[in-house]
Structure 1
Amino acid sequence: MSYSVRGYAAHSPTGRLGLFDFERRSARPDDVVIDILFCGVCHSDVHNVRNDWGNARYPMVPGHEIVGRVLAVGDEVTRFAVGDLVGVGCLVDACRHCRPCGKGWEQYCENGATYTYNHADPVDGTRTYGGYSEKVVVRESFVLKVPETLDAAAAAPLLCAGITTWSPLRHWGAGPGRSVAIVGLGHMGLKLAKALGAEVTLFSRSPGKEADARRLGADHVVISTDPAQMAAVAGRFDLIIDTVPYQHDVNPYVPTLAAGGTIVMVGYLGPLENFDTGPLVFSRKALAGSLIGGIAETQQMLDFCGEHGISCDVELIRIQDINEAYERLLKADVKYRFVIDMASLKQEAAA
């Protein structure tokens, strides 16, 4: 039995998102059917909707930071029961037998991971539609347990913003005795790095953010446009996580790395103009990239957040305000993530 679902969709790269009725695929024996309570709004939603990456398929229902309650489970499902609080992130399937999948790195699946929206189901080819909607049907192995101790709305962006910083923090060994810096609006990077025990610094382009940064976990704030402040932290950082989602000059941050340190790009996908590799060679520094995280490490991150009471700073919005939220997001006019209260969609559907 398929599910008739209402959501919000984009029909072109320039149009506004609006109401859209569609069919979810029938649930299979290993599927979980989820009633969506909240869905985060990610910068990549805007990129996808506006076809910035050139692979948009319309109509498109965005949303890959999903938190909800289990409505039904297939006969083969063992890890979830009706009523459980669960999450779905950027991935809903992968081949599960290639080398990256074998390491728990489904996001790097050599045969192509299946994304929560703007993709095709690998079994029947049906379109995947995201979390700006009432319900979603997802294979059990790609559904995550959300700790009941967390606020459900504030937990939603953990499924992308959280894991995007958690994965490189863990992979590059952030913890006691390590010095970590965050570039950009990566507030979850500050919170997680601090909770892991690292010394944490925020690079900011403008003054006035110190109090907020310290509240989020920063031990230090460095104004990246101030040459004196940048010179004072030369050779300090073991790891820099760059969350900036647009093209920018990375060169100024390289001197602040310790020998053997790494800058990890998690926000910007594209060429870096005039990047100087010389300082990398002479001090065994590295420029690397990281994409979200695998299912096991996403669950690890959620469990860690539940144990430490960590969640995102969010502004709750109605689905009817999503187009205005996109414009505000592009202006960085949000602290720090928008989350859609999907009750607003159900109220509209009932009207």
Structure 2
Amino acid sequence: MVTKAYGAHVADRPLESIDIERRAPGPHDVQIEIAYCGVCHSDLHTVRSEWGGTLYPCVPGHEIVGHVSAVGGEVTKFKVGDTVGVGCMVDSCQHCASCADGEEQYCENGLVGTYNGATPDAPGHTLGGYSQRIVVSDKFVLKITHPEEQLAAAAPLLCAGITTWSPLRHWKAGPGKKVGIVGIGGLGHMGVKLAHALGAHVVAFTTSDSKRADAHALGADEVVVSRNAEEMQAHANSFDFILNTVAASHDLDAFTALLKRDGTMTLVGVPEHAHPSPNVAALIFKRRAIAGSLIGGIAETQEMLDFCAEKGIVSDIEMIRIQQIDEAYDRMQKSDVKYRFVIDNATLAA
């Protein structure tokens, strides 16, 4: 089926309107008319081939919310009209140890990304949510129960939400735990909201004094300007867990020094240039850990979506027309958004 989309044919040109083909739904497929698609920094990195390996034409977008328009004959979990979402992956091998554990994001044979992943469908790689519709295996479709008026703001939960939720849950953020969130951007603002909703004492770290009020409004109990040595020192050896959402290369030692014995700092951003090597002694003498985390499995993503719907949690967004996407990319690079752009996919028809 011919579908209108927005994508790029080369790395150094603006995105443009293109026509793509979507397969007819197979027995286990769900066809979704996309209402909204969040804009992730990974979209920009991929479309401009900043990570290398981009396959063109590239149609980004992996924070997808829409409505089911067709289902395959063997699909039982979804029906036409259901409100659903699709996140960062649309397939995995389904038989390795990670997949068996419901941790498809760590598939040992390689997950299939929602865009730029290998697929038998033309053109040989997946094309994402900057499009009118998408066809996805029912195993990778998620139920959305937020009210209709919150659907646009729920879209970034499919990446920014689960990227922060998964480590918060894995390292047991909750009542009685002191949790730090480093960075108040698209990921960090969701980390603050979720850690607060889970009952942790939340400390937000920012390089900008001007973000204090915003961080408190998001749910932070305390706000620390990380460039202020005195403010940082006041929290030495006190954190159970720190979620570091900053993708830029920076000194990790300043934050590991804030962990208590057996504390962990988890990184969810991949820097363009490697972080300076951490001080190993600071880890050894307090049994501290630096860890990493990648999105979440399908079951965990559904858990997060249900929790957010129950608690009324969504992302703070700015809605854009698809024709504004390159402007949005430029603004996103300057952190000029609070805190996530979301595309109104109806504008693809314009």
1:98-132 deviation digits (Å, cap 9, x = unpaired): 01111111000001100000112268883210000
Name whichever of 316-325 and 271-280 sits farther off. Answer: 271-280
2:322 to 319, 324, 343: 319
CA distance in structure 2 between the partners assigned to 1:206 and 1:215 by the alignment: 15
1:304 pairs, out of 286, 303, 307, with: 307
Sequence identity, in percent? 57
Q: Which residue of 1 aligns with 2:171?
A: 172
Counterparts of 1:27 and 1:19, CA distance in 2: 24
- CA shift for structure 1 position 54: 1.0
1:189 pairs, out of 191, 202, 223, with: 191
Distance in structure 2 (CA, Å) of the matches to 1:34 and 1:224: 43
Q: Is the 8 A contact 2:146 2:154 kept in 1?
A: no
SS at match of 2:98: helix
Aligned length: 345
Give 2:129's aligned residue: 131
Counterpart contact for 1:27–1:33, Cα < 8 Å: yes
More off after superposition, 313-322 vs 5-14:
5-14
Corresponding residue for 1:233?
235
Partner of 2:341: 338
Amino acid in the other structure paired with 1:334: V
Matched residue, 1:86: 84
Aligned residue for 2:285, secondary structure, equals: helix
CA distance in 2, matches of 1:166, 1:274: 27
The question of whether the paired residues in 2 share the 8 Å contact of 1:114 and 1:122 is answered with no
- Counterpart amino acid of 2:30? V
Change (3 A) 1:83 1:58: same
Mapped partners of 1:13, 1:124: distance in 2: 20
Is contact 2:23-2:121 (8 Å) kept? no
For residues 281-300 of structure 1, the aligned pairs below 5 Å read 281-300=284-303
Q: 2:332 corresponds to which residue? A: 329
- Runs of 4+ in structure 1 displaced over 3 angstroms? 122-126
Q: Matched residues in 2 for 1:123 and 1:330: separation?
A: 32
Return the letter of the residue paired with 1:219: D
Which secondary structure does the structure 2 equivalent of 1:8 belong to? strand
Quote the Cα distance in structure 1 between the aligned partners of 2:324 and 2:201.
Answer: 38
* Counterparts of 2:305 and 2:219, CA distance in 1: 18
Distance 1:153 1:241 in 2: 25
Maintained 8 Å contact 1:239/1:262: yes
Deviations 1:190-233 (A, max 9, x none): 00000000000101112121211111110000110011001000
Q: After superposition, what is the alpha-carbon deviation per residue over 1:143-170, rounded to whole angstroms, capped at 9, x for unaligned?
A: 0001143610000000000000000000
RMSD, aligned α-carbons: 1.2
Cα separation, 2, equivalents of 1:58 and 1:164:
26
CA distance in 1, matches of 2:146, 2:63: 17
Q: In the alignment, residue 137 of structure 1 is paired with which amino acid?
A: V
Where does residue 204 of structure 1 map in the other structure? 206
The equivalent of 1:40 in structure 2 is 38
Any stretches of 5+ residues in structure 1 without a counterpart?
Answer: none
Query: Partner of 2:60: helix, strand, or coil?
Result: coil
Consecutive unaligned residues in structure 2, runs of 5 or more: none
Deviation at 1:276, TM superposition (A): 1.4
Q: Which whole-Å CA distance do the structure 2 matches of 1:86 and 1:140 have between them?
A: 11
What's the counterpart of residue 26 of structure 1?
24
- Separation in 2 of the partners of 1:162 and 1:240? 16
2:94 match = 96
Distance 1:343 1:241 in 2: 35
Range that drifts further, 116-125 or 307-316 = 116-125
| Offset at residue 318 of structure 1 (A) | 0.2
Q: Distance between the aligned counterparts of 1:107 and 1:20, measured in 2?
A: 30
Higher deviation after alignment, 269-278 or 291-300? 269-278
Q: Quote the offset at 1:25 in angstroms.
A: 1.8
DSSP 3-state at the match of 2:24? coil
The Cα shift of 1:83 comes to 0.6
The amino acid across from 2:158 in the alignment is L
Structure 2 counterpart SS, 1:283: coil
**1:124 & 1:108 partners in 2: Cα distance?**
26
Residue 153 (structure 2) aligns with: 154
Between the aligned partners of 1:51 and 1:208, the Cα distance in structure 2 is: 33
TM-score normalised over the length of structure 1: 0.96
